Structure 1
């Protein structure tokens, strides 16, 4: 009965077509396209009109301080501790109460994502793979989305990295716009993830020509003077 009530509620909110599409993705077949992106660590970050945010402390994530995620990212505490134990570089931005309001990770080695996508992302010499960036809702639309990455880039540059690479779901328009705002460029590679019956996953990399993101670009403006280092 509870399932039927949730189904009716979803149909009222999203419509029948959207509901059937969600059921298909969850229980029959789903296809995700992860676009590979990259940028160097020294080019100026393009100008933006993001809002300022209150002062925060930047801390390296460790297994011992992962409890700071409890308030805003309670379901991630264990994952944060595991990633720290695996030796990845993680930063969290902490408010005056000691609660993490944003986090991001990087690694200069091939990254096997056992927590979400379930596949391996290869990393070349001089690169680092950026992943897991997220902000608490109150900080959406603020400069923290920029500073979060700049702080990580500085840390990874000291480890000998000169290029950041990552992947972004082609259906996540806000994240794609963030990449463009930060000056990322497309690698014209796609990691395709296929899920059957909500259980079995298969992976395949494909390539494309041209740009998948051109329609999302805004008219360019003169660059700001701040740099990533």
Structure 2
């Protein structure tokens, strides 16, 4: 399929405006606002109504089994292998065919993300930084998102960690809502990532009080009132 055909297909699926914004973001300029969030790994997740999912086998990601990502995450097989070789803790969930359908990574040391944002995420003692979590579309909205968190929490607690921290792009609405649903707390810090012409990158941190996520929360439902006699 040639480039023009791919472009036409993408416009038909996403619309001209969305494709134009994506092109600008990729080739001209983008500004990502990464809000820092945290959760005590000793505190269980709140109740949820996520859907069940078919049985999946959990394994640590290693250099030798990273090929399991080939079907659904084929462009990241080598990245998975590199992260495993560097000693980061990775969990993957395999379907009945042995293909990875979900994964997450954790780092107990300062993490330099050279694969996507290309900036350093400093970690305090007793914390770990969780990154790269993703699931295939078929598993969106399922209990796997909660299981990934809790499985990783147990593993990292055994390494002496009491708190998980991560960052979430304010433009990633589904991820923001997932963090709210799981009762993550805001750290009051935003890392700004700027990229010009796909080449030059600039970074800065800003700090705030209150909440930047309140606009994403569902409004509280009013309590029912008693009917008049």
Fold match by TM threshold 0.5: yes
Q: State how far apart, in whole Å, the 2-side matches of 1:32 and 1:205 are.
A: 12
Map of 2:27 onto structure 1? 27
**RMSD, matched Cα:** 2.0
Q: How has the CA–CA distance of structure 1 residues 144 and 202 changed in structure 2, closer, same or farther, with 3 Å as cutoff?
A: same
Corresponding residue number in structure 2 for 1:141: 141
**Number of residue-to-residue matches in the alignment:** 220
* Equivalent in the alignment of 1:227: none
Quote the Cα distance in structure 2 between the aligned partners of 1:164 and 1:59.
Answer: 20
Q: Does 1:96 align with 2:96?
A: yes
* Structure 2 Cα separation of the partners of residues 92 and 83 of structure 1: 13
Shift of 1:137: 1.4
* SS of residue in 1 equivalent to 2:83: helix
Separation (CA, whole Å) in 2 of partners of 1:180 and 1:102: 20
TM-score (normalizing by structure 1): 0.89
SS at match of 1:64: coil
Structure 1 unmatched runs, 5+: 222-229
Deviations 1:96-135 (A, max 9, x none): 2211111100011000111111011000000000001111
User: Aligned partners of 2:133, 2:220: CA distance in 1, in Å?
Assistant: 25
| Partner in structure 1 of residue 43 of structure 2 | 43
Q: Alpha-carbon deviation of 1:214?
A: 1.1
Distance verdict in 2 for CA 1:136–1:3, change over 3 Å: closer
After superposition, the Cα gap between the structure-2 partners of 1:217 and 1:61, relative to the gap in structure 1 and judged at 3 Å, is: same
Displacement of 1:212 = 1.2
What is the deviation of 1:10? 5.2
Shift of 1:24: 2.6
Distance 1:114 1:184 in 2: 26
57 and 7 in structure 1: CA distance in 2 versus 1, 3 angstrom threshold: closer
Structure 2 counterpart SS, 1:101: strand
Q: Give, in angstroms, the shift of residue 11 of structure 1.
A: 5.2
Question: In 1, Cα distance between the equivalents of 2:140 and 2:104?
Answer: 15
Q: Distance in 2 between matches of 1:11 and 1:56?
A: 35
**C-alpha separation between the residues in 2 aligned to 1:76 and 1:13?**
24
| 1:179 CA drift (Å) | 0.8
Partner of 2:121: 121
Partner residue in 2 for 1:212: 212
My pick for the range that moved more, 123-132 or 25-34, is: 25-34
List aligned pairs for 1:170-209, cutoff 5 A. Answer: 170-209=170-209
Q: Counterpart of 1:63 in 2: which secondary structure?
A: coil
Deviation of the 1:21 alpha carbon: 3.0
Specify whether residues 117 and 160 from structure 1 end up closer, same or farther in structure 2 by C-alpha distance, changes over 3 A only: same
Which one is further off, 208-217 or 52-61? 208-217
